[in-house]
Chain A
């Protein structure tokens, strides 16, 4: 057994986290920053963080992930990292020539109290930021929240530090992307195009973290929202934020700074979250939802009707990030499945409230927990006490899946051992079809594996 020390008996823990269902802020900020064209993310801390974050994103995407670091030494850790960051900014603009640098912090620089705004101002005063180039910054203390918080903080920084409202409104809608895959961001843009709505999607990692093989390494790939477009978000008619944990803070920042009103919707995972997103887009932009999209929806519902018997009543355990899990839980219910154990390492009251509300009518007794100690170890213990038919979560779930022999669908971040998540959408009706297909695939593989020879089915 890979997790041989995990016992069925649950011991209440207050201090020890085992097998976390989250990681720390800066990796989220790094991911978000890659969604701006010509941007080099910069980690203001000791260099270990930056290496770890780049490695994890690289393992997830199988793509280059560029970022620089202030490379703190012990001296800088005691006396402050201003010199390190100013030097780094100078070196980066000279050697790597980005349009902008997006700086995030770590627990080191946050603990010693480095003020990013003050240091960036100093770099500007010292002439280290060339004409027409930018440096933005977001504090991302690792001891607060999770990687999702870090993503939200960097997205909010983009809005705060770029958006401008010069009083000339533009006929466009901002879509503040919650943490989604490049494939999902591409799908958002496709859906908007189908509806005929002009949007500014930010951040946008499509064509950055799914770049083609051309025989050349393009240091700043063609994707990412461009700086002028990012500036123009302050003049948009309104914003739609996707995901209250990862997308909303960016929309709030835009509203505060440029008075762009916003509505928050779930990341459109599954049927009903996609319905709501499309209706919001349709309503806000004043356009009808075209037949082509209604057909896509119909294809999804058709699949759900046809395959209902295989989903029905199956117990599911799931873990991951709040903005993914909320609409996923709703979708699982719509498939007539039973989400019985739900874990997110990311703290925040809105998660449990939303999940409980979704489950209230049918599965009010489900195990739901988030925050510290809401970890994969606890999820595994719950599973030992009440076994499930399906496990959904990131790659780390494979250890439980193997030990407990549970069909497993990879979903969320990080997925280190499979591909597809960056190429095929997980959102919208097409994403829901893909998700349903994946769930059916593992359930039917299991049925095929376990069926006695006499009842091994050719047709299902």
Chain B
């Protein structure tokens, strides 16, 4: 297995685009690059999808409602549009949540829609939207209602923000805000993340100044508690004595968002979906941010240490070391058992906007190599690192996504560290306000592919025959029909958590189970392998 001969990546690249019409081939050629960590090549990303190519991508509404706002349990998320958008985002992402007691609010099991009909498209849907808000208020008396625009809303000119304002004033004790996240905005889910960040920042963050206490207060940004990931991270933070003020947005409440500006550090899991929030919070409130990764046992230990180093507190650093020392033996014993069974196997990862990077650490712990990886909707900074941000040109398809102009809050701005202190920490190797992206962590000669198409996926599998392929539900059964196990890294195949130390153990066991399952050897019928020798010559009619 270790001596498997792999094809030449440049030849693979040519093979992947050979069948395309010339214009398409040219465009796709820029999205497929052979990596060199020493000299990161430029990758084309965050541009429009080629019609008809069979993309993995979803839309802006999915990025806004489905991803960022979906996990907050006490906001009534009202989708303004025909029924589909609301239906498909109903409990299909596994954002777990734990309400406070049997009375605690939790609307995540519900699906709210204005269920727009033809007459609303013709005559406008604002009246129906207002009425739906009133009905939701009368039924549930929620703290907040979020309104999400779907494709037709922008086209017919319904002003959801005016409706939100009017109803907020009318109802008095319910925060109501809108998201213009029509599916056609931008080129992918990514536009929706940005829109979600902006509106939550504008309408929610900073409303509650209560200091909830704690010596080391952080916000966790871009962790959505799929399969209980955030529960595991919360457990570790708690054990270390680090206070989680707010989570954006796994297992979260709107109260946490309102209070989030009282934290002293923002740590980012998913850079793509939430880096806007981190930057805006630093500008307005003076809270620095730092990229972390709780996927992988080593990565988790490293991230906890880095949080402790930021606070420059000896007791905290000692406590973090104790926690790591307590947690690691269980991890090591599982790795010892599984490593020989996974060592040398090959993985490919094509997931969203962050996991294609994060999970490479976990595969590394299993002794597995990532041959090829890419995002659906990452931007160049997620691939090449934030240093290239000044070189990114916003193209025509994304230029209408609002950039908020943020300035320091005259009363609430309070720099948590001076620039000198931050500089010192950076010199000591703590990468404040930075993210190096995926490519520096990938081997020379690995293939990085943005917005991979179905065609490229099949070709890649044929050419490399990886031992495991990681993507989503739409790819899962295609790839498995080819005899290669597919690990869903969006839904975790209904398992998890995979974050933290417990999560790493779960992941090791799941990958071992998948790559070593008996079923892959049972695909061919025995009579296809060797023809049955016929012993008689019965004729049946």
Contacts and interface: CB of A to CB of B under 8 A. Distances in A.
Contacts of A18: 110-113
Nearest to B47: A73
Given A65-B474, A108-B152, A111-B121, A20 B81 contact: no
Interface stretch (A43-51, A236-244, A427-435, A444-452): A43-51
A16 B114 contact: yes
Interface in B3-38: 19-21, 24
A94 interface: yes
Interface stretch (B129-137, B207-215, B230-238): B129-137
A70 interface: yes
A232 interface: no
Contact of A112 (B155, B185, B477): B155
Nearest to A78: B155
Contact of B83 (A3, A17, A377, A396): A17
A11 B139 contact: yes
Contacts of A51: 55-59, 62, 474
B113 A17 contact: yes
A318 interface: no
Interface in B88-104: 88-92, 99, 102-103
A35 interface: no
Given A112-B155, A214-B523, A23 B88 contact: yes
Contacts of A7: 139
Interface string B264-278: 000000000000000
A66 B472 CA distance: 14
Interface in A73-94: 73-77, 84-85, 87-92, 94
A16 B58 contact: no
A146 B116 CA distance: 12
A37 B120 CA distance: 38
B239 interface: no
A24 B49 contact: no
Given A11-B139, A51-B56, A64-B478, A19 B151 contact: no
Interface string A1-30: 111110100010111111110111111000
Given A15-B132, A345-B83, A213 B400 contact: no
A407 B102 CA distance: 23
A106 interface: yes
A143 B120 contact: yes
Interface stretch (B170-178, B328-336, B341-349, B480-488): B480-488
Interface in B60-100: 60-62, 78, 81-92, 99
A72 to B, nearest CB: 5
Contacts of B19: 94-95
Nearest to A54: B474
Interface in B117-152: 117-118, 120-121, 128-132, 134-136, 138-140, 150-152
Given A73-B184, A75-B396, A15 B118 contact: no
A69 B54 CA distance: 7
B58 A77 contact: no
B110 A213 contact: no
A53 B89 CA distance: 11
B83 A20 contact: yes
Contacts of B116: 107, 143
B112 A91 contact: no
A230 to B, nearest CB: 23
Nearest to A213: B523
Nearest to B56: A51
A152 interface: no
Given A22-B83, A74-B184, A143 B117 contact: yes
A372 B125 CA distance: 15
A336 interface: no
A74 B151 contact: no
A282 interface: no
A77 to B, nearest CB: 4
Nearest to A42: B52
A58 B476 contact: yes
A432 to B, nearest CB: 29
A106 B109 CA distance: 26
B473 to A, nearest CB: 5
B458 interface: yes
Contact of B481 (A27, A58, A64, A141): A64
Contacts of A27: 84
Residue from B57, B183, B186, B397 having most chain A Cβ neighbours under 10 A: B183
A456 interface: no
Given A107-B82, A143-B117, A17 B112 contact: yes
A111 B151 contact: yes
A216 B481 contact: yes
A67 B60 CA distance: 20
B107 interface: yes
A187 B95 CA distance: 39
Given A52-B58, A111-B156, A215 B184 contact: no
A46 B183 contact: yes
A217 interface: yes
Contact of A16 (B51, B82, B135, B472): B135
Nearest to A106: B151
Residue from B81, B139, B455, B483 having most chain A Cβ neighbours under 10 A: B139
Contacts of A107: 81-82, 84, 116, 121, 150-152
Contacts of A144: 117-118
A47 B114 contact: no
A377 B113 CA distance: 12
B161 interface: no
Given A20-B113, A26-B84, A59-B473, A91 B397 contact: no
A215 B482 contact: yes
A69 B82 contact: no
Nearest to B112: A18
A372 B82 contact: no
A137 to B, nearest CB: 15
Nearest to A62: B477
B110 A19 contact: yes
B107 A74 contact: no
A79 B135 CA distance: 36
Contacts of A5: 105-107, 110, 139-140
Contact of A90 (B21, B113, B184, B478): B21
Residue from B78, B110, B115, B476 having most chain A Cβ neighbours under 10 A: B115
Interface string B454-478: 1100100000000000001110111
Nearest to B150: A107
Nearest to A146: B83
A76 B50 CA distance: 13
Interface string A195-223: 00000000000000001011111100000
Interface of B: 19-21, 24, 48-62, 78, 81-92, 99, 102-103, 105-107, 109-118, 120-121, 128-132, 134-136, 138-140, 150-152, 154-156, 182-187, 396-397, 400, 453-455, 458, 472-474, 476-483, 523-524
18 contacts: A2-B109, A4-B102, A5-B106, A16-B114, A20-B86, A20-B113, A24-B87, A25-B84, A47-B183, A58-B473, A59-B92, A59-B473, A68-B53, A77-B184, A90-B21, A95-B53, A111-B152, A215-B481
Rank and list the top 8 A-B pairs by shortest CB-CB distance, nearest first.
A48-B59, A24-B84, A88-B52, A15-B131, A88-B51, A91-B52, A52-B88, A142-B82
Given A26-B84, A94-B21, 19 more contacts: A7-B139, A23-B83, A23-B84, A24-B82, A47-B55, A51-B55, A51-B474, A52-B88, A53-B88, A68-B54, A74-B185, A77-B151, A87-B50, A91-B20, A91-B53, A95-B453, A95-B455, A215-B483, A216-B481
